Amino acid sequence: MKRKSRAELARLLQERNEHPERMAEMDAEIKATFGETHAILIMDMSGFSRVTLQHGIIHFLAMIHRMNEIARPAIEEHGGEVVKFEADNAFAVFDEVENAVEAAIDILKRLSAANTMLPPEFDMYGKFGIGYGEVLMLADDDLFGAEVNLASKLGEDLAERNEILLTEDAYKRIKSQSREYEECFKTISGLELRIHKIKYGDC
């Protein structure tokens, strides 16, 4: 099914705002029009603020470009779809959580390999949040949803360099026992979160 645009979502939201008595009906229409269920991977580059202060914005943009060139093929080779690259973040969706996990590990391996061939000021490191659930997907490269927000908080705010963190809903979708996970609790924005950290490499 062809995805609808942001303009169509804006039209439906406007109608919802103008007719609060039809809120349930409009919510159902918005979910039917835009709703999809996915594993969500959000990657954040580690240390970019420091690198930008030291080496300037052009160096920063060049590193983002290199990150995109590394992340995109890894995501696609594991069955994922890149939704967007935004600053030093990558947003992607997958059918299953395991695919997102393997893509994240693959990206870390590729970044590590790239780092061995470049001076230290070019080193790149990633950190990841992975969620699973219903999202609203737009044709113009964007997505919204509770698990998107949680995955973003894990990847951007809670994960350390080279860490891959899963939400509770994402962890519940794991079927394979090929990876080990460590359970921990974190509090952010007043929410106490049960999260699961992949035991991989330096994680």
Number of domains in the chain: 1
The three-state secondary structure class of 114 is helix
Q: What is the DSSP letter of 189?
A: T
pLDDT confidence of residue 48: 64
Strand 81-86 relative to strand 142-144, pairing:
unpaired
Q: How far is CA 141 from CA 5, 32, 83, 144, in A?
A: 9, 18, 5, 11
pLDDT confidence of residue 201: 58
Task: Name 194's bridge partners.
Answer: 185
Domain containing residue 41: CATH number: 3.30.70.1230
136, 144 Cβ separation under 8 angstroms: yes
The three-state secondary structure class of 188 is strand
Give the lowest-confidence range in 11-15, 17-21, 82-86, 121-125: 121-125
pLDDT confidence of residue 203: 39
- What would the two tokens of residue 62 be? 């060049």
User: Which tens digits make up the pLDDT trace of 45-58?
Assistant: 876 666 667 777 88
Is 146 domain-assigned? yes
Is 70 domain-assigned? yes
By CB atoms closer than 10 A (0-12, 13-18, 19+), residue 33 is middle
Is 106 domain-assigned? yes
Helix, strand, coil fractions of the chain, as percent rounded to 5: 50, 30, 25
Is 117 domain-assigned? yes
Is 73 domain-assigned? yes
Q: Tell me the average pLDDT of the chain.
A: 91
Is 12 domain-assigned? no
pLDDT confidence of residue 29: 96
- Residue 132, CA atoms < 13 Å, CB-side half-sphere: 20
> Residue 139 is part of which domain span?
35-198
pLDDT band of 124, cuts 50, 70, 90: confident
Q: Which of 164, 134, 180 is nearest to 31 (CA)?
A: 134
Q: Which residues contact 25 (CB under 8 A, 6 or more apart)?
A: none
Is 115 domain-assigned? yes
Is 71 domain-assigned? yes
Task: Name 134's bridge partners.
Answer: 37
User: Which tens digits make up the pLDDT trace of 139-185?
Assistant: 988 999 999 999 999 999 999 999 999 999 999 999 888 888 999 88
